A and B are shown apart, each in its own frame.
Chain A
């Protein structure tokens, strides 16, 4: 059992609530919400986490791993605590999203897909976020969920990153 994750220990009420959404004989449907729970703390799903989700749902670890691999909001490797995901699809690109992404990365001293040295911020290029009228737009994904930031500039993006860094520094100082 040492291979297993810890969501049953840490989030028993959440697991119960998730399972209650689906018919008892169809609990496999809970795999996606359980995977969000499994990556809540580390922002990626560990092998142990996949095993645990598989055990809860009577699936094989391979089946769970295939779900992690297929859907783009699950991760099987660690990266930044916050993933800043910039949409550069057609409508956004027509309104300067590609330049925005490039300059944001330049300011952070990283390339697209890389993580800042403090391990806090990963900047990624993603597909349409359904916010095309408010480009440039990005979302910030963390273990706690996702949040949209619309009508962004490099300045507002950097200000947000500074705020996140400040908050983390305060947490560490506690």
Chain B
């Protein structure tokens, strides 16, 4: 048992940590696997499934936190066929939870996909995996074949009228394809570039048809919600953020890894109790709660005692996102850190929107100059200016994401920038005190 306080609630998602070999179909079935799917197919109407998921309060685990049942209820019932596309493109720096689910508890994930497809009235569900997950996709293909052979997928499942195929599709190395409309474009064999929204995927999705796009972790919750009920699910987590969440903990900690904890657990519990504290005996300086897309949180006592849920983290001027918690110790310069994140976003910008394409390019240059000590304070101001020119001006969130660490970093860790650029003008002259 991991030291992550699972005694009270047990695992909802990372159940392989308490049930050995749950990645075999037999073991999964012995532990109640596919009973939820049987129940929805034989006893529930699609609308009842949607209502149950709505009642559970489950929110999307990919980053946006949108209520899952509500998303499902938006599907346009006048336009058919319907599709489900699973977002398994997990690419946010600091996020590595979906890989563990798919590798270790794959049948619960696949059952969640199947239940979602039934609720959506879809007979085809695609799993879009990032290309790097090639071996995961190969294993899922074999598991899907086994389910078809066992009559749990395919035609007339459980003797009902329901047919379902689950199909894997590999991307090829593009962070942007984690954005749902870019993912749909990519699935259609085009460049992974976001679409203008609205229309949203439940009315205009894959091949122009109504489509539910959900994250791997989101759907892996669903069999447990159906099996144990929405009321049970709501006993975990907080009122507005029910359930458990997998927190991917990385960076300067002693025990990085995935920790499944109730939403509302504090940063302190995750970083110090689960993660064993900051590595090399150092002090904690900053926290990024949502991977590279995060605003930087000053890791003071208030922050450490803040609950990690969809309401409390925004009170710190940050987001929970996909809950990829990166710990930054006191030896790390924030000027270096934002150069890292900006460099990532420059590489991953799809090039469609000018503010993001050009802005990330210039921010990469400016942060590089600053961190190498070749910049003056004007460059820091110019960097802020460029970041502000990106915010809110792009089709998808990538542009905004690229600016979060930059703007919060300069604002909240000003000393780091003053040390690098504060005393000099760009020409290297000593700055006059004002």
- Of the listed stretches A3-11, A27-35, A113-121, chain B binds A27-35
**Which of A57, A73, A134 counts the most chain B CB atoms within 10 A?**
A73
Contact with A along B62-104 (1 / 0, CB 8 A): 0000000000000000000000000000111111101100000
Residue pair A32, B258 in contact (C-beta under 8 Å): no
B contact residues, total (Cβ < 8 Å): 54
Q: Which chain B residues lie closer than 8 Å to A159 at the CB level? A: none
- B262 interface residue, CB < 8 Å from A? no
Residue pair B191, A66 in contact (C-beta under 8 Å): yes
Residue pair B189, A71 in contact (C-beta under 8 Å): no
Q: Which chain A residues lie closer than 8 Å to B252 at the CB level? A: 94-95
Residue pair A132, B96 in contact (C-beta under 8 Å): yes
- A23 interface residue, CB < 8 Å from B? yes
Report Cα–Cα, A129/B132, bound state, in Å: 7
- Give the Cβ gap from B246 to chain A, nearest Cβ, in Å: 12
Report Cα–Cα, A127/B344, bound state, in Å: 7
Q: Which chain B residues lie closer than 8 Å to A26 at the CB level? A: 188, 207
Residue pair B172, A127 in contact (C-beta under 8 Å): no
Q: Which chain A residues lie closer than 8 Å to B95 at the CB level? A: 128, 130, 132
- Give the Cβ gap from B259 to chain A, nearest Cβ, in Å: 10
- B276 interface residue, CB < 8 Å from A? no
Residue pair B172, A35 in contact (C-beta under 8 Å): yes
Residue pair A128, B248 in contact (C-beta under 8 Å): no
Report Cα–Cα, A91/B347, bound state, in Å: 17
A133: contacting residue among B132, B167, B189, B248, CB under 8 A: B248
Residue pair B326, A133 in contact (C-beta under 8 Å): no
Residue pair A32, B189 in contact (C-beta under 8 Å): yes
A70-B192, A133-B250 as given contacts; A128 in contact with B92, CB under 8 Å: yes
- B224 interface residue, CB < 8 Å from A? no
Residue pair B96, A130 in contact (C-beta under 8 Å): yes
Contact with B along A63-107 (1 / 0, CB 8 A): 000110011111000000000000001110111000000000000
A132: contacting residue among B169, B172, B250, CB under 8 A: B250
Which residue of the partner chain B has the closest CB to A26?
Answer: B207
Residue pair A72, B174 in contact (C-beta under 8 Å): yes
| Residues of chain B whose beta carbon lies under 8 Å from any beta carbon of chain A | 90-96, 98-99, 130-135, 138, 167, 169-175, 186-192, 207, 248-252, 256-258, 288, 292, 324, 326, 328-329, 332, 337, 340-341, 344, 347-348, 350
Q: Can you list 16 A-B pairs with a CB-CB distance of less than 8 A? A: A32-B172, A70-B350, A71-B173, A73-B172, A89-B340, A90-B292, A90-B326, A93-B340, A95-B251, A130-B99, A132-B324, A133-B248, A135-B250, A139-B132, A146-B131, A146-B132
